[in-house]
Structure 1
Amino acid sequence: MIVEIGNMLLQQILYFFSLKMLDSRLDPSTDAKRAQKVSMGASKSRWRTFEFKVYYVMFILVVPLMIRTAISATSERNPNYARFEPLLSKGWILGRKVDNTDSQYRFFRDNMPLLAGLIVLHTGLKKAVLRTTNVRRVRFDLVFGLLFLFAAHGVSALRVLLHLVINYAIAKTLRKNYRLATFLTWVYGISTLFFNNSYRKYPFGNVLSVLTPLDGAFKGIIERWDVFFNFTLLRMISFNMDFLEKWEQVVTGKKNNSPSPSPSHVSNLKPELKRAASSATTLETICENGTTNVLLDERARMNAPHHIQDYLFANYLAYVTYTPLFIAGPIVTFNDYLYQCQQTLPSINTKRILYYAGRFVLCVLTMEFVLHYIYAVAVSKTKAWDGDTPFQISMIGLFNLNIVWLKLLIPWRLFRLWAMIDGVDAPENMIRCVDNNFSALAFWRAWHRSFNKWVVRYVYIPLGGSKNRILTSLAVFSFVAIWHDIELKLLLWGWLIVLFLLPEIFAQRYFAPYRKRPWYRFVRAMGAILNIWMMMIANLYGFCLGYDGTVHLIKGLFFTWAGLRFLMGANVALFIAVQVMFEQREHEKRNGVDVKC
């Protein structure tokens, strides 16, 4: 009896930390044939081999040492403490101070109670309205979204609405010329980023004198409307492209060029292009045999057979201003959003939502622990690492990267949790820990995953995909760089990313025939170690240590005996970590999951 309870508890813990719990799109049970194919290509388990038992011992010894070193490098006993102590704030864990110096996370952390209240207000009001009236979900989203838009950005909401109207007009007026409408959608979309960067505060009175009073009106809770407009732009382009593809399909009768639905979920789909009275309020996926299916596959929902009349301005506004995902995503396509407004997916259930909420709380508590015991951000801001060993500086940088990862993951998971409570299953943005990466290509698939999916659908595939991998990657990272910020250094960063990807792309092609050889994983590990050093140094330079700190670290690594000893030990540790990462992914494949990252 005790053994059975123990096994059940273990199964629940494993499920709690599994990929399929994190995102139903990663659940192999939704596509049995694909899961079987994936599992057949996996290697035999190495978890119980002598080699991996040695790795477990090393993990038990090294990981606590890393945490201890990071704490000692930023503690009160460190000689540099007086330099960064003024940046620390009063904490709540055992009398410790907290490193709340990161402005982005500080804004979210300080306003978390306000966000929690908004979630309760939105979901409670929506459930009450839908139960007591005949209002449709998408109509409620429209009204609440517009109210939230004006509350968030005040009078600047008019600037956002102007962009929305122009974008909608481009698609609707030029719909008969697919290429021209697509071209102008992208030209206008990208130009808005430059325009907002230069004229976000342009006075209304300079446009029309009668609008002068607006310049002194309410600016909203979030005055920097242009920062969050970048996410709005993704939804604007998504609507236009989904509408134009549907219009082409209606006019020409050809199938959509987007990824086709998985045949294991939806068979013999026939788009219902004429609105019938019976489908005036509910979208049904019509099949050959007259039955209806819920589209479990995300690619199928991207091509969901909406009526052409559903691409209305009201639905467009409801989608763009959908409150749970408005601030920072995750991003869902218009077709997927509209489908989920009319069909609740099986993944929206109490158990999954509670487990996901538990994962969110665990991440918040992890972040709080790190900020209370490892003051990496404050040290980086004051450059207070004089006299620190290369090991200490590297740990400051490593935990700084983990803080960057967590400060993005936590808001994204909160907003996705909000959407799940509201009945919309958006993609999970972070499916890998930042420390669980060895491939630059795979890293970008797992980091901000919904944005990656968006880019693949609307940029990568239309430009040729893997047929022109280098050119399409160059276009993708150029757009990603401009989307993040209008700076030349970010554009150069995007191009350098492509340059750094080339060795990995060529190595994959060269060694592909040898994947079944016993020595392959060891050679692959050597390349993975080089990849990890490259990614770490690039991110330490860009987000944590800056130029001075990165140069100081490199000099310490290569020009001191302590640094060289640490470098050799670090490479051994990375080799072990990479082997465990390889095996973890093989374990996932044995269970039918292959997320390619």
Structure 2
Amino acid sequence: MVSSVCTRYLLKAASFFSLPVLDTRLQAPSDQKKKQKIQNKAGKDRWSTLEFRFYWVCFLIVVPLLYKAAIDASSSSNPNYVKYERLLSQGWLFGRKVDNSDSQYRFFRENVFILSIVLSGHIGLRKLIYFTFPKIKRNQFDVGFGLIFLFVVHGINAIKVFLHIVVMLAITRLFKNKFKLTLLLLWSYGIVSLFINDKYRNYRIGHLFESLSFLDPGFKGIVARWDVFYNFTLLRSLSFNLDYLSRYNEEQKKYLKKDEERDSNSGSIDSLTTELIMEERERMNATLNLEAYSFFNYIAYLTYAPLFIAGPILTFNDFYVQSIRTLPSINTKRNLIFGLRFLFCLLVMEFLLHFIYVVAISKTGAWENDTPFQISMIGLFNLNIVWLKLLIPWRFFRLWSLLDGIDPPENMIRCMDNNYSALAFWKGWHRSYNKWVVKYIYIPLGGSSNRILASLAVFTFVAIWHDIELKLLVWGWLIVLFLIPEYFLSGYFRKNHSEKWWYRHLCAAGGVLNIWLMMIANLYGFCLGHSGTSSFLKEIFGTIEGLKFFVVANIALFIAVQVMFELREDEKRRGIDVKC
């Protein structure tokens, strides 16, 4: 009886954290043949085997030790505490101090209440306007509220944002009859605009338009760094213009065909007002009226308040389709569950910031005489905080959008620690951005048939888009270099040895190597820096204690990867395969 009750609660908890509950795009296909095909690829259930029972015992022992090591490294009794204590603030949990030293997350944390008021005001105002003026269209409200929101966020710097997006629209409309030239000009200006903003982010409007020089001393908005959020506006601007260009090119090809063939196709322009498009891929490639790509819809899309600051990124075609017909995924129950998951992540972050001060430790390099285990946990929990500080704002803005009737993709679908493949990691991290680069860069450059060159172009753009720094560009190229062995080795062994008994264990060993490569690269780039990473490696390979830790860590990672494999096999048994 007790066992059945426990099982029932465990299944409910698993359902709460499942992929389909997070985003309906991640559920099993509605087509039973496709679902069955995925299920046929799944391996047998191993959860109840002796091997996996041993793994669960290891989890029960190891995971608490990970937290203990990180808490010990953050303890006030640690000799390094005095080096970073100044970066801590008074917290609200159990009288403890809080590590609020990360400026990026601090901005969100200190403004989440104000953002919640804006969210409520936006949703409430839309309902009031619709009730008062029943004939008002959705895009009319979006433009009105979006322009006000843009000015509040960026003040007079909104003019600089408008200048860029108008130039990109003008390029598309002026050269639309020369498809390849327009593509070249669009991408060139988009990338150049990032360099312009990086160098001249504080340039005065009066230098561009002397008659508007009186605006320069004016209100700069609540976010002075307009150029940072412009990066997301650039993606939306490119999406609108590339979708329009593709659609216009299709129409031009039709007119080149003989009259009777053209006539037979001319009635397919826009059935979206009567037909609900369920599949995301179909929405992204929907056949819209050319009138849908109007300047008014352009502004409604670019300034859509819930997704303006940081996304998630929704392509224009998908946004337009959803603005006409609300998807069934938008309902009170799903929104409530998503809201509870957001709250859960927010509380987890608060717990970490109150008990594990790894951000402050990393900023001050305060790990002298810590054990290799403790240094590795400083790095690991730092990476988890980097993951959470991005996930939480993204989920907040996605929740806002869901409550407003638009369903964008979920950006983070896997826990950061539930990754063993560099390739799969990038598919699940900032997923909406991944979908964007696949649609507009990877596939146009040949996709899997031209994988290395397409990947190089993708990561070059990703690096430049994130920041104009040489080290990020090198980082992007190194990612591609790290992916090449995985591309070829995984393909070779899957094709020739997937039925062998040792195949799963060989893949797990490869997963361990991948985790070390990803961890060291990210520790170097985002957490410990050169000195910290060097100290960590010297402690591991230069001391007996470090070598012991290295052996035990490899065993623990091997077990963790086996569990990750089984989690994905369990999803396949339910017809779910998100390929990451």
Q: Quick check: 1:521 aligned with 2:522?
A: no
Supply the distance in 2 between the matched residues of 1:83 and 1:539 (Cα, whole angstroms). Answer: 24
Supply the distance in 1 between the matched residues of 2:203 and 2:376 (Cα, whole angstroms). Answer: 44
Which has the larger displacement, 328-337 or 23-32?
23-32
Identity rate, percent = 58
Counterpart of 2:237?
236
- Give CA-to-partner distance per residue, 1:62-82, whole Å, 9 cap, x none: 100110111011111111111
Q: Select 1:328's aligned residue among 310, 317, 323.
A: 310
Note the residue ranges of structure 1 that are not aligned, 5 or more in a row: 255-268, 285-291
Question: Equivalent residue of 2:92, what SS?
Answer: coil
Q: Quick check: 1:386 aligned with 2:368?
A: yes
Q: Select 1:573's aligned residue among 552, 556, 560.
A: 556
Q: Quick check: 1:494 aligned with 2:476?
A: yes
How far apart are 1:206 and its partner, in Å? Answer: 2.0
How far apart are 1:247 and its partner, in Å? Answer: 0.9
Structure-to-structure mapping, 1:138-177, within 5 angstroms? 138-177=139-178
How far apart are 1:207 and its partner, in Å? Answer: 2.5
Letter in 1 for 2:296: A
Counterpart of 2:111?
111
Over 3 Å counting, the alpha-carbon distance change for 1:397 and 1:442 in structure 2 is same
CA contact (8 A) 2:29 2:576 kept: no
- Give CA-to-partner distance per residue, 1:93-119, whole Å, 9 cap, x none: 010000000000000000001100000
Which has the larger displacement, 505-514 or 463-472?
505-514
TM-score, structure 2 as length reference: 0.96
Supply the distance in 2 between the matched residues of 1:369 and 1:46 (Cα, whole angstroms). Answer: 33
Which has the larger displacement, 512-521 or 39-48?
512-521
Counterpart of 1:59?
59
How far apart are 1:543 and its partner, in Å? Answer: 0.6
Question: Equivalent residue of 1:216, what SS?
Answer: coil
- Give CA-to-partner distance per residue, 1:30-51, whole Å, 9 cap, x none: 3432221101111101000000
CA contact (8 A) 2:186 2:238 kept: yes
CA contact (8 A) 1:441 1:501 kept: yes
CA contact (8 A) 2:205 2:216 kept: yes
How far apart are 1:270 and its partner, in Å? Answer: 7.6
How far apart are 1:15 and its partner, in Å? Answer: 1.9
Letter in 2 for 1:576: I
- Give CA-to-partner distance per residue, 1:551-573, whole Å, 9 cap, x none: 00000000101100000000000
CA contact (8 A) 2:38 2:575 kept: yes
Question: Equivalent residue of 1:305, what SS?
Answer: coil
Counterpart of 1:261?
none
Over 3 Å counting, the alpha-carbon distance change for 1:67 and 1:274 in structure 2 is closer
CA contact (8 A) 2:70 2:356 kept: yes
Structure-to-structure mapping, 1:370-519, within 5 angstroms? 370-512=352-494, 513-519=496-502
Supply the distance in 2 between the matched residues of 1:200 and 1:382 (Cα, whole angstroms). Answer: 29
CA contact (8 A) 2:42 2:569 kept: yes
Counterpart of 1:205?
206
Question: Equivalent residue of 2:216, what SS?
Answer: helix
Supply the distance in 1 between the matched residues of 2:13 and 2:117 (Cα, whole angstroms). Answer: 30
Counterpart of 2:290?
308
Letter in 2 for 1:54: F
Counterpart of 2:25?
25
CA contact (8 A) 2:269 2:287 kept: no
Question: Equivalent residue of 1:175, what SS?
Answer: coil
How far apart are 1:517 and its partner, in Å? Answer: 1.4
Aligned residues: 571
Over 3 Å counting, the alpha-carbon distance change for 1:272 and 1:321 in structure 2 is farther
Counterpart of 1:217?
218
Supply the distance in 2 between the matched residues of 1:156 and 1:37 (Cα, whole angstroms). Answer: 52
How far apart are 1:12 and its partner, in Å? Answer: 3.3
Letter in 2 for 1:127: K
Counterpart of 1:357?
339
Which has the larger displacement, 320-329 or 300-309?
300-309
Letter in 2 for 1:49: T
How far apart are 1:14 and its partner, in Å? Answer: 2.4
Over 3 Å counting, the alpha-carbon distance change for 1:271 and 1:27 in structure 2 is farther
Supply the distance in 2 between the matched residues of 1:407 and 1:32 (Cα, whole angstroms). Answer: 38
Over 3 Å counting, the alpha-carbon distance change for 1:352 and 1:170 in structure 2 is same
Supply the distance in 2 between the matched residues of 1:200 and 1:72 (Cα, whole angstroms). Answer: 43
CA RMSD of aligned residues (A): 1.8
CA contact (8 A) 1:514 1:520 kept: yes
Letter in 2 for 1:303: N
CA contact (8 A) 1:272 1:305 kept: no
Supply the distance in 1 between the matched residues of 2:368 and 2:265 (Cα, whole angstroms). Answer: 68
Letter in 2 for 1:559: G
How far apart are 1:273 and its partner, in Å? Answer: 5.1
Letter in 2 for 1:577: A
Supply the distance in 1 between the matched residues of 2:266 and 2:577 (Cα, whole angstroms). Answer: 30
Counterpart of 2:540?
557
Supply the distance in 2 between the matched residues of 1:272 and 1:91 (Cα, whole angstroms). Answer: 63
Which has the larger displacement, 314-323 or 2-11?
2-11
Supply the distance in 2 between the matched residues of 1:223 and 1:479 (Cα, whole angstroms). Answer: 25
CA contact (8 A) 1:272 1:306 kept: no
